[in-house]
Amino acid sequence: MRVGPDIDPALWRGLTARRVSRRDLFKAAGVTAGAMGLSAILDACGVAGSQASKSPSATGVGSQSWWDQQKKTTQLDFANWPLYIDPSILKTFTKQTGINVTYQTVINDNDPFLAKIIPALQNGQGTGYDLCVNTNGGPMDRLIALGFVIPLDHRKIPNFFKYADPNVKSPTYDPGNKYTVTWQSGFTAIGYNSKEVKNPPKTFNELLNSPYKGKVGMFGNNQDLPCPALVAAGYDVQTSTPDQWKKAAEPVMRARDNGTIRAFYDQSYIDSLENGDILVTQAWSGDIFIAAAPKSIGGDGYPEMRLNLPTEGSIYWHDNMWIPLHAQNPVSSMMMMNFVYDPPIAARNADFIWYVSPVPSAKDIVLNDLKDPSVANSPLVFPTAADIAKTQGYRVWKDQAEEEEWNSIWEPVYSS
Amino acid sequence: MEQHLGTGVQLVEHRRLKLRRRLAPYFLSAPGSLWLLLFFLLPLVFMASVSLQTGNLLQGFRMTWHFANYSDALSLYHVQFVRSLIYGSIATGITLVVSYPLAYWIAFHGGRYKNTLLLLILLPFFVTFVIRTLAWEFILSDQGIVLGTLKHWHLLPQNYHVLATSTAVIAGIAYNYLPFMALPLYVALEKIDRTVVEAARDLYSSNRAVFSHVILPLSLPGVFAGLLLTFVPAVGDYVNAAILGGTNNVMIGNIIQLKYLQDFDYPLASALSFILMAALLIGIFIYARALGTRQIEEYV
Amino acid sequence: MSVATAREISTPRAEMAPRRERHKRWTRFVLPVYAWLVIVYLMVPIAVMIIYSFNNSGFKKVSFRWLGFTTTYYKHLFAIPDLTASMKNSLVVAVVSTLIATAFGTLWALALVRYRYRGKQTSEFVMFLNIAAPEIVLGASLLSLFVTFGVPRNLVTIIIAHVMFNVAFVAITVRARLTGFDLTVEEAAKDLGANAWTTFWKVTFPLIWPGILAGALLAFALSIDDFIITNFVAGATQTFPLWVWGVSRVGIPPQVFVMGTLIFMVGLLLAVGNIVLQRRKAREG
């Protein structure tokens, strides 16, 4: 190729034209500088963790001296689940202590409630509540680990130490009851419609292999589904390994994929059971009690609803009272905690709520004073030690990494 | 108007007016555009930044340029992504097919009742979205008003159910987003110059030809706007899936909500949101190119 | 001339009649029936909701077993304090965000229609992006912003979010009204001696008022019904859709159906009022 006058001038122009103008260079420089500056800002960005330095143990909140400084007030902001208290005991409480109770049934499920309060607590603000009730195994564990729970003053709850059932004292998720005392407990078991179901399932595996395809309900959270599955597979919930988790998850996924399981529910399963959308389901003991009770005494009026405790053992969980950080009336909270462990009060609660009462001596009061043998003699409200012996609790993870591994195996089961 | 400039004083006045005229659009558009800059664009930048971080609630999140969040998101949830695109497409298709004749009839044959009819269509959507979807759950319940009656007369097998299937979810989405398709269609159809249609009637022999050669093409901007306003929210919706769906109906919106609000896994959730937005934007641009539009903003 | 001839050649008169008949059948019968069927279908959940708001199902949750007619829940509509509180929040958010979004959006529309300026195309693109972005992305990104800066989530953050997604809708609604408007009337006003302020209020504003009203109504409707974005940025505050969702997990209380019925009645009244107004205007005009 010769350079010379033979070359087409247009081609020559094209070959030699400046590709990048000075303006383009400035633009590029500006963009790069901007990007570098932006990335410097972004590097500095991050979301602060809930540092250990802010937790109660570090700041002294909840210590004996801190409690000594707290004064009694005339107000209590109590957040709880719906239908989880005998409303008359609130009036009794106010009469006895002079404390006005603002009772809000804002907790429909653990996770959405935590989703609301954790961001506020992370910002160092109060939740607006003095006393909340949340379940162990995940919600309670997380709150304690994040340092959002005020340690209790044991001097203020003598009734707890006198009357509480030994199995709620110093549970694995809260040794020494440093942060919580149990409100009510319950079983995760099997519920069914006895009118439609001729051979009710007696084990978790029978639930998975139910002939009622598309009419089986399961829980869609990371404790109520995995733990019964592990028990049914013959493993110990607390000591099981990730391999065992995977093995236990397999039959559940099979049942899901072949259409047996209709859906993975939150606590709205009871609605679907009553509507007839599902015929057999995992269930919480008290829900079935309420569903079967007549409307006149506060139930839903579906007497065909029954509960079976799985023969391999059910899961026994606890809903716990706890005091959030920055609560305005912590002394009122402690007084309420003490109040509900008084046996006559516990008896009234047991007779209304129909979940497992943490006060065994309330049984006689329910039987003799409140004259309600159906509640007093029910193993679902006052279980014997033998009943409890067969149960297992929710999993307690030893650290964040273990929890994440557990979730990575179980979440795809119920959210796919 | 400004040809005659006049004396020095008038010149200054004129310049000041011209300056005011030049600055006017900036002042007018400032509040709106600044708001969007601060609360729309900036959050997107921060979401991008969060999507590259690692950490958890306990120890905090730190920027580590962890691009693996994106690959993790795709490998873990590609099923839900694809499912959402499929559900969104089918639901959008249904709304288009259902709305078009409706919009056509109102636009061309509505007469003086046009506005009344439009209001009639929009009236059900006054009631809260959540209530409407709950009402459908109520209606479609296995032993409910519809299925219960049909089963009672043995017109359906006893274990037939609509809820907890993809059909219910898609039907819910189609129902809830119908006005977003019907309204733009109506606007586009109503704008069509009637004299053009008359001319077409004179030129073409059949009404079908008039429709396919004249009316349909002229209504395409409305179709595009309707598709945009329906498909995008439909893909990201999670309320219909939560209320009407069962197993294997989980949409990507449910996952994003779960990751953000329950697991507090901000990095993964942000990566998922970005992938969703990118997928939708690419789809829109491809579609716009196919339609031959040069400035898509014109159709919004 | 040739067109008419071509027509006659291709379709003799005899064939035209049945085709016109078919067309008439299509437009006089099939289409209207179809349209009314769709309208009825749209009303189905509303009808069910209205009917079952009178069902005596008990205060806890609705039931589709018909247990008798009652208006108890209408009398006890405000028995649930959280319902009234959340409804109040929804109204406050809707009114405030509508006012702000309408003001900002109208000004922006004026700029877009009347002027050509640098950055106009970019801002139009941003507006398009805002409308095209899925709600979940809008809500999630705003949450990311608030979380990064430690901004507490409450009523204010909800209002911020609602203005954000409404401003673009108002702008395009008003812009649609503005384009094609002969604004030489403004020049005429200026020639007659009016200053910019008077021109705007006495001439421009009345002309674009229907567009502004339409934009405001759209913004109000979008705001009061919003669930997804609000869910992300609300924190502990409840708006009405959020409250209904939360409470429906345990069972839909009958008051929800009652409230839905009342909201529908308000909409119906507005619609009827609008028709009456239009009839009156048509008669006068």
Domain extents for chain B? 1-50, 67-299
Q: Give the DSSP per-residue string, C253-283.
A: -HHHHHHHHHHHHHHHHHHHHHHHHHHHHHH
pLDDT number for residue A57:
64
| Side chain identity at residue A382, one-letter code | F
pLDDT number for residue C12:
54
CB contact under 8 A, A47 and B261: no
Q: Which H or E element spans position B184?
A: helix B178-191
pLDDT number for residue C190:
78
Mean pLDDT, chain B, integer: 85
Q: What is the pTM of this model?
A: 0.84
Q: What is the mean pLDDT of residues B21-47?
A: 88
Q: Which H or E element spans position A135?
A: strand A132-135
Rounded CA gap, C36 and B187, in Å?
19
Partner C contacted by A47 (CB < 8 A): yes
pLDDT number for residue B237:
92
Spatial contact of C109 and C174, defined as CB atoms under 8 Å apart: yes
pLDDT-derived band at C181 (thresholds 50, 70, 90) equals low
Tell me whether residue C14 is exposed, middle or buried, using C-beta atoms within 10 angstroms of its C-beta: 0 to 12, 13 to 18, 19 or more: exposed
CB contact under 8 A, C164 and B36: yes
Which of residues 229 through 248 in chain C touch A, CB cutoff 8 A?
Answer: 235-236, 246-248
pLDDT-derived band at B1 (thresholds 50, 70, 90) equals very low
> What's the CATH number of domain A52-185+317-389, 3.30.930.10, 3.10.20.30, 3.40.1410.10, 3.40.190.10?
3.40.190.10
pLDDT number for residue A6:
56
The fold of the B67-299 domain, in CATH, is MetI-like fold (1.10.3720)
Q: Which H or E element spans position A219?
A: strand A216-219
| Domain positions in chain A | 52-185+317-389, 188-315+396-414
Q: Is the pLDDT of residue C31 over 70?
A: yes
Q: Give the DSSP per-residue string, C96-127.
A: HHHHHHHHHHHHHHHHHHH---TTHHHHHHHH
What is the percent of chain B where pLDDT is above 90? 33
pLDDT number for residue A101:
93
Q: Is the pLDDT of residue B90 over 50?
A: yes
Q: Is the dihedral of CA B189, B194, B196, B197 positive or negative?
A: positive
Return the SS3 of A217.
strand
Q: What Å distances lie between residue C238 and A378, C93, C252, CA to CA?
A: 38, 11, 17
pLDDT number for residue A37:
54
CATH 3.40.190.10 fits A188-315+396-414, yes or no: yes
| Closest partner CB to C275 (pick from B33, B116, B269) | B116
Pick left, alpha or beta for residue B4 (phi over 0 → left; psi -120 to 50 → alpha; otherwise beta): beta
Q: Is the pLDDT of residue B294 over 80?
A: no
What ipTM was predicted for this assembly? 0.81
Q: Give the DSSP per-residue string, A163-183.
A: HS-GGGSS-TTSGGGSS-EEE
Using a CB-CB cut-off of 8 Å, the residues of chain B touching C171 are 32
pLDDT-derived band at B80 (thresholds 50, 70, 90) equals very high
Q: Give the angle C145-C100-C242 at the CA atoms, nearest 5°.
A: 60
pLDDT number for residue B95:
96
Return the SS3 of A408.
helix
pLDDT number for residue C14:
54
pLDDT number for residue A119:
79
pLDDT number for residue B16:
74
| Domain positions in chain C | 2-52, 81-252
Instruction: Find all residues with CB under 8 Å of C214, minimum gap 6, and list them.
Output: C173, C174, C177
Using a CB-CB cut-off of 8 Å, the residues of chain A touching B246 are 261-263
Spatial contact of C108 and C173, defined as CB atoms under 8 Å apart: no
Q: What is the mean pLDDT of residues C49-72?
A: 85
| Residue with more model confidence, A135 or B10 | A135
A258 phi, psi to nearest 5 deg: -90, 10
The fold of the C81-252 domain, in CATH, is MetI-like fold (1.10.3720)
Spatial contact of B255 and B77, defined as CB atoms under 8 Å apart: yes
CB contact under 8 A, A266 and C236: no
Q: What Å distances lie between residue B18 and B6, B8, B11, B23, CA to CA?
A: 15, 15, 10, 9
| Residue with more model confidence, B61 or C18 | B61
Q: What Å distances lie between residue A4 and A1, A9, A18, CA to CA?
A: 9, 10, 20
Q: Is the pLDDT of residue B297 over 50?
A: no
Mean pLDDT, chain C, integer: 83
pLDDT number for residue A78:
94
pLDDT number for residue A2:
44
Which letter does DSSP use for residue A130 in this model?
S
Partner C contacted by A102 (CB < 8 A): no
Using a CB-CB cut-off of 8 Å, the residues of chain B touching C35 are 101-102, 105-106, 117
CB contact under 8 A, B205 and C256: no
Q: pLDDT tens, position by position, for chain A (416 residues)?
A: 444 455 566 665 656 555 555 555 555 555 555 555 555 555 555 666 665 555 666 678 888 889 999 899 999 999 999 889 998 999 999 999 999 999 888 888 888 888 888 878 887 878 889 999 999 988 898 899 889 999 999 999 999 999 999 989 988 889 999 999 999 999 999 999 999 998 999 999 999 999 998 899 999 988 999 999 999 999 999 999 999 999 999 999 999 999 899 999 988 899 899 988 999 999 999 899 889 988 888 788 899 999 999 999 999 999 999 999 999 999 999 999 999 999 999 999 999 888 999 999 999 998 888 888 888 888 888 988 888 888 999 998 888 889 889 999 999 999 88
Using a CB-CB cut-off of 8 Å, the residues of chain A touching C64 are 275
Return the SS3 of B280.
helix
